[in-house]
Amino acid sequence: MSAPPTPRTAPIPAPAPSIARNTPAALPRRRGVGLLLVVLGVGLVALALIAAGRGQLAIAPAEVLGSVLDRIGLGGIGGLPATPEHPSGEVALWSIRFPRVAMAALVGASLAAAGALMQGVFGNPLAEPSVVGVSAGAAVAAAAAIVTGVEAFGPWTVAVAAFLGGLVTTLLVYALSRYEGRTEVVTLLLTGIAVNAVCSGLLALLMFLGDTQSREQIVFWQLGSLNGTRWVYVAAVAPAAIVGLLGAVALARRLDLLALGDRSARHLGVNPERTRILIIVLVALLTAAAVSFAGIIGFVGLIVPHLVRMLVGPSHRVLVIASALGGAVLLVLADLVARTAVAYADLPIGMLTALVGGPVFFWLLRRARAQAGAWA
Amino acid sequence: MTAAGLVGVAALEARGVVVRRGGRAVVDRVDLAVHAGTVTALVGPNGAGKSTLLSVLAGDVRPDAGEVVVDGRPLGDWKSGDLARTRAMLPQEHRVAFGFRVAEVVELGRAPWRGRPEEDHDETVVLEAMASTDVGHLAARTFPTLSGGEKARTALARTRAQATRIVLLDEPTAALDVGHQEAIMEQVRQEAAEGDAVVVVLHDLSLAAAYADRVVVLDEGRVRADGPPAQALDADLLSAVYRHPLDVLPHPHTGALLIVPRRSQVSSEVLP
C-alpha cells in the first residue's frame, strides 16, 4: 500500500438516482405486417386474373374468374360464365396465359426470396443473385448443358445444371467475398463484377461453340423471358421453387440471429456455418428454379426485399414471406407489361427489370451510403 | 459473499487451459473455478489474455490444452441449445446487420427459449432486461442509429434477456459514461445476488474492486493473483503487471479501494 492521500475529496454524494428512464409497458410492435401480407396476397390473385385476361385476345376479369371457378368445381357462382365468350378464350387462358402467369409468379417469388436469403447470409442488403453473379453462373451451367447436349437427367437436365451452376457460384462468391467473418459492400460488388465477367465470357464461348438453335436459346436466356411457357415447364420449376420457399421460411428466423454476428449467433444456439451452407443451397435452388426456364431476370431480389424492409422491418420470417409474395406480384406485373406494352411484340422481361431495377439499385447505393452504419 | 462460492460444484471451470497463438501461449495453464452467486473480474494489461480466456470459457476458442467444464460437464458434451440456455456472453464488439430495432435485438436473446414454457414470459423478460440497462426509451430506435454506449447497453440487455445462470461479459463498461458504468455494475451484482455466476473482463480496476467478489489478475496469459479484491489488487503486483506505478488507496470516506496511476512524477520531483 502507498502513502495515505490528503482527504480533499468532495463529501459523499447522495445515492445515485435510478438511471433507468421510461421503459414502455409493452414492446413496440411493427404495425402493418398482417396488412401487408393480405394486400400482397389479394393483390397477387387479382393481378393474376387481370393479367390472364390481357393480350391480343382480351378476356374480361369476370370471365377469367368464371373459368377458374368452373375448373375447380365451383362453376356458376355469382352468375359468372363457365367459359369466356370468345371461342378461343378458354384455350388461350388455359394453355397460354395461365401457365405464363403461374411461371411469372413462381419465378418472381423465387428470385425475391433468394435475394432476401442472400442478403441475410451476407449480412448485406446489396447481395442479390444477379448482382453477385449467381444467376449468370446458373445460366452458364445451363447453357453448357444445352450446347453439349448432355441429357443425364432427361428433361430435368437443364434445371439440374442451373442448380449446380448456381450452387458452385454462390459458394465461390461466399468464399471470395468474406474477410474475417464479414462481407464488405465493396468486396461483394467487386466479386460480383468479376464473377459476372467470367460468366459472360463463358456464355460467349458457349454461344460460339453452339449451333444456331442453342445460340438462340442462350440469347433468350440472357435477356430473360417468359415467352412460350407451358404447363410442363411450370411443373418442372414448381417443385424446386416450392421446396426452396418452404425451406426459406423454415430457416428465416436463424438469419435474424446471424445478423448479430457469428459469435453471438453461436452463443444463442445457432451453428452459423451450417446455417449459411443450408441457406446457400436454398439460394441456389431458388435461383435455379427462376433461371432454368426464364433466364436472367435481374434486380427482383434486390428491390422487393428492400421495399419490404422499409415497410415492416428486417425480421427475416416476415421478410421472406412478404418478399416472395411481392416478387410474384412484381413479376406478374412486369410480364404483363412485357407482352402488352408493344402490340404484337413480346419484350424481354429481363430487359424491363434491368431498366427499372438499375436506377433503383443506384438509388439504394446512394441511400445506404447516406445512412452511415446501415450497411457494411 | 465469497463463502457462498465455496459450496457445491463450480458453475464454470477452466482446467489447465492453454491457448497458443503464433508459438506463444496467450493463455498459459489457467485454472479457474467460478461459482454460482459470485462476480469474478478478469483484469490485466492489454494482451494479457483476458478476452481469449473468456472466449475459451464461452466455447468460441478451443484450448490447445486443458478443458472447460460447465455444470460438471465438459463443454464439448453440451448441445448448443442447452448451452445457450445456460450461459450468455456479451462480446466486445456490437454489430447488428440491418435496421433491427432495439426491442427486436433484445428479443433475439430469447431465441434459445423458443418452444419452451419459458417462452410465455418473453415479453416480461425483455422489458425487464431493457429497463435494467436503461434502453427502454430506445425500444423503437433502430440499432445502427444508436451511440456506442447505447449499443453496448442494448447488447447487454440482449444477454440479460437470455436469462442464463452463467454470464460472461467482455468489457461491458468500456463505452459507457460513469453513471451507466455504475448502474450496469450494480445490475451485475444484482444478477449474482440472484444466483448467477458472472465473469466480467474489466479495465477499470476500481470498478473491479468495488463490484467483484473475486479478482483474477492476468499477465502474459498467466494468473498472477486470484482472490478477494483487497488481496488480489496489490499495489506492487499491479505496478509490475501494468509496467506503471500504481497506488491502491482506501477511499477517505467509504474505505472502498481506489486504484490510481501515479502521475506527474517529473513535475513534482524536478520543479521546486
The distance from CA B257 to its chain's CA centroid, rounded to whole angstroms, is 19
Contact A19 B180 (CB under 8 A): yes
* Angstrom distances, CA of residue B124 to CA of A23, A292, B131, B160, B188: 12, 49, 10, 12, 19
Alpha-carbon span B146 to B139, nearest angstrom: 11
What residues of chain B lie within 8 A of the CB of A261, using their CB?
A: 91, 93, 95-96
Of B59, B103, B132, the CB nearest to A27: B103
Contact A28 B58 (CB under 8 A): no
* Angstrom distances, CA of residue B208 to CA of A198, A218, B200, B256: 57, 68, 9, 11
Of A24, A119, A259, the CB nearest to B139: A24
User: How many Cα atoms sit within 13 Å of A36 on the Cβ side?
Assistant: 22
Find the closest chain A residue to B180 by CA distance.
A19
Report how far apart the first and last C-alpha atoms of chain B are (Å, whole number): 48
Find the closest chain B residue to A9 by CA distance.
B252
Among the residue ranges A82-96, A357-371, B13-27, B179-193, the one predicted with the least confidence is A357-371
pTM above 0.90, yes or no: no
Report, as an integer, the average pLDDT of B208-233.
Answer: 95
pLDDT band at A62 (very low <50, low <70, confident <90, very high): confident
User: What is the three-class DSSP state of B40?
Assistant: strand
Which pLDDT belongs to residue B271?
52
Closest CA of chain B from A238, distance in Å = 31
pLDDT, one tens digit per residue, over B23-62 is 899 999 999 999 999 999 999 999 899 999 999 999 999 9
Residue A10 has pLDDT above 60, yes or no: no
Which pLDDT belongs to residue A374?
47
Of B87, B105, B140, the CB nearest to A28: B140
Alpha-carbon span A268 to A249, nearest angstrom: 19
Task: Based on DSSP, count helices (H) and strands (E) in chain B, helices before strands.
Answer: 11, 12
Report how far apart the first and last C-alpha atoms of chain A are (Å, whole number): 49
Closest to A253 measured CA to CA, from A373, A116, A106:
A116
pLDDT, one tens digit per residue, over B90-145 is 999 888 988 899 999 999 999 999 999 999 999 999 999 999 899 999 999 999 88
A89 membership: H or E segment, kind and range: helix A89-91
CB B253 within 8 A of CB A9: yes
Q: What angle do CA A92, A98, A99 make, to 5 degrees?
A: 105
Beta bridge partners of B167: B88, B198
Count of other CB atoms within 10 angstroms of residue B223: 21
Find the closest chain B residue to A266 by CA distance.
B80
Alpha-carbon span A345 to A339, nearest angstrom: 6
- Residue B37 sits at the chain A interface (C-beta within 8 Å): no
pLDDT, one tens digit per residue, over A151-210 is 888 777 877 888 889 889 988 888 888 776 666 777 878 888 999 999 989 988 998 998
Alpha-carbon span A292 to A284, nearest angstrom: 11
pLDDT, one tens digit per residue, over A279-326 is 988 998 898 888 888 888 888 998 899 999 989 999 999 999 999 999
Alpha-carbon span A40 to A321, nearest angstrom: 10
Query: Going by DSSP bridges, is the β-strand pair B65-70/B73-74 parallel, antiparallel, or unpaired?
Result: antiparallel
Q: Average pLDDT, whole number, for chain A? A: 85
* Per-window interface: B 104-123 vs A, CB < 8 A: 104-105, 107-109, 111-112, 114, 123
